[in-house]
Amino acid sequence: MEKYKVVVCDHIHEAGLKMLQADEQIDYVFAADIDKTALLDVIADADVAITRSSTDVDEKFIAAAKNMKAIVRAGVGVDNVDIDGCSKEGIIVMNVPTANTIAAVELTMAHMLSCMRMFPYSHDHLKNQRIWKREKWYGYELKGKKLGIIGFGNIGSRVGVRCKAFEMDVIAYDPYINASKATNLGVSYTTNFEDILKCDIITIHTPKNQETIGMIGAEEIAKMKDGVVLINCARGGLYDEQALYDGLTSGKIRFAGIDVFNKEPATDHPLLDLDNVTVSPHLGANTFESQYNIGTEAAQQAIEAAKGIAFPHALNLPIDETKIPSFVKPFLQMGQKIGFLASQINKAPIVSIKVSGQGDIAEYLESLATFVTVGAIAETTGDTINYVNADFIAQERGIKVETEECPSSSAYKNLITVKLTTEKNVVTISATMFNDEVQRIVDINGFDLDVAPKGSMIIFRNTDVPGVIGQVGTILASHNVNIADFRLGRNNKGEALAVIIVDSPVKEATLKELGALEACIGVDYARI
């Protein structure tokens, strides 16, 4: 009977260790307490390693793991794992993304209740200061309050269900889900972010990415109700921490419940000096049940990976470059970028993704479709989508993914086209490769262009009349936005499309001003 070596590099729940010990095909090695240098010798012939935050899967680790098939990160975050380095060596990286869902949901509720009733402060007043002063601690009830939930995925939706049980008026904002996901739970759904800013309490449950970092800043806080309560048990940096501090000190924000910080550990953070904040040291996963789930799920993944049965929650795709022509890999990478760009231009629940190809690349459309799907859905799922589960997640969301091989009829040797259809609109983007390494977008919605798929982009569509370029330039200059590149395409309908590459992020106010121009048909913003 063939045996597989699994090394547990960090501490996990005992139940997970027992699962490894009980499998006759697993040669289990517990190495959580040994020196990390000595660990390199232990993993030399290992098939799978289970790690947590204490073990860095870096260049030394990867070089030592000569026989490694997979690494299981027992938890969600993979900041300490060199995923690219693992991919180059054919090592699959997996995480355990949903094991702490309930723990995070209930911590959110704990912070919400603590903010409304000031519980930590009344507790300290009596227990530590030995003062009995009931009249000092008048709080507010959750019943009847309006709760805004930003991000309605696994955690946000469960928070909504619990808050409905408290008889709250719950409204969800998540432009990437179907409205029925909220309404079927008795939760209102909005595509207007301003509706969230009018709520009594706001809680955020989104991935941390370019679109969500600083999502709540000074401008958003200024639009909120006086005395609003803000909760963040998701990711540090989703709220602009300086704006949060200013709002708390001014009284605009009555209370805030914060479990996560932009830089951790946050033992010297200014928020800790305030007396209208409840804080915890990133405890989202810190329950015994959660740790049990993480330990057992990590062990099960390690067993399946060692035996080659399955690689659930894989975060990468090891590419064996000996089995594909060298020109294919850059197209796969570009396809993911195009999918990502299309989803930003066409923000709404996705209905279908169609990937077409002309030339030799058409032989690899199935692989290309996987990469495009990952790019198209990545913004709405954070770490949960990967090359292994992309098709499953698309199917789960009711997204139709199809491919089409087209006859070569263009001037390009190889051409890929991504057609992204959402409940709101359709966007089609074509791209090619020059000299096998220079990526170029050559068409957006029928407008011929020549644009590198990178950077901050303003996509501006307008009636083709004189003076528009000057007006756009003037507005950007007034907002201190520098233009790095300006690419223009025209069609036979009297319309023009400009892709403007800029040197800095573009604020919503700038886009609104551009959209107000008389010649403007539509304006979008994307970052690759």
Catalytic center residues: 235, 264, 282
Q: Is the residue at 313 inside a domain?
A: no
Q: Are residues 28 and 55 in the same domain?
A: yes
- Count of domains forming the chain: 4
Choosing from 428, 454, 480, the residue where a domain stops is 454
Sequence-distant (6+) residues with CB within 8 A of 123 are: none
Q: Are residues 329 and 419 in the same domain?
A: yes
The dihedrals phi and psi of 486, each to the nearest 5 degrees, come to -140, 110
Q: Is the residue at 519 inside a domain?
A: yes
pLDDT digits (tens, 9 = 90+) for 28-48: 999 999 999 999 999 999 999
Q: Are residues 388 and 374 in the same domain?
A: yes
Predicted confidence at residue 231, as pLDDT, reads 98
* CATH number of the structural domain spanning residue 30: 3.40.50.720
- With contact defined as beta carbons under 8 Å apart, do 316 and 93 qualify? yes
Q: Are residues 482 and 348 in the same domain?
A: no
Say which DSSP state 494 is in: S
Mean pLDDT of 385-393: 74
Predicted confidence at residue 494, as pLDDT, reads 93
pLDDT digits (tens, 9 = 90+) for 139-155: 999 999 999 999 998 89
Residue given tokens 């570009």 in the structure block:
334
Q: Are residues 84 and 143 in the same domain?
A: no
Question: 369 or 320: which carries more pLDDT confidence?
Answer: 369
Choosing from 279, 298, 327, the residue where a domain stops is 279
Q: Are residues 460 and 450 in the same domain?
A: no
Predicted confidence at residue 263, as pLDDT, reads 92
509 to each of 209, 220, 472, 483, 525, how far by Cα in Å?
20, 12, 14, 17, 12
Q: Are residues 448 and 465 in the same domain?
A: no
pLDDT at 176 over 90: no
Measured between its terminal Cα atoms, the distance across the chain in Å is 49
Q: Are residues 269 and 303 in the same domain?
A: no
Choosing from 454, 470, 494, the residue where a domain stops is 454
Residue among 274, 215, 272 at smallest CA distance from 247:
274
Q: Please give the full DSSP string across 269-328, using - where no structure is assigned.
A: -GGGG-SSEEE-SS-TT-SHHHHHHHHHHHHHHHHHHHHTS--TTB------TTSS-TTH
* CATH number of the structural domain spanning residue 420: 3.30.1330.90
Predicted confidence at residue 121, as pLDDT, reads 93
Q: Is the residue at 314 inside a domain?
A: no
pLDDT at 383 over 90: no
Predicted confidence at residue 320, as pLDDT, reads 52
pLDDT at 321 over 60: no
Predicted confidence at residue 98, as pLDDT, reads 84
Q: Is the residue at 403 inside a domain?
A: yes
Predicted confidence at residue 125, as pLDDT, reads 94
Q: Are residues 128 and 243 in the same domain?
A: yes
Predicted confidence at residue 134, as pLDDT, reads 94
Question: 72 or 375: which carries more pLDDT confidence?
Answer: 72
Give the angle 58-61-62 at the CA atoms, nearest 5°. Answer: 85
Q: Are residues 271 and 364 in the same domain?
A: no
Q: Are residues 244 and 324 in the same domain?
A: no
- With contact defined as beta carbons under 8 Å apart, do 105 and 325 qualify? no
User: Which domain, by its residues, includes 226?
Assistant: 101-279
Predicted confidence at residue 74, as pLDDT, reads 94
Mean pLDDT of 94-100: 88
Say which DSSP state 70 is in: E
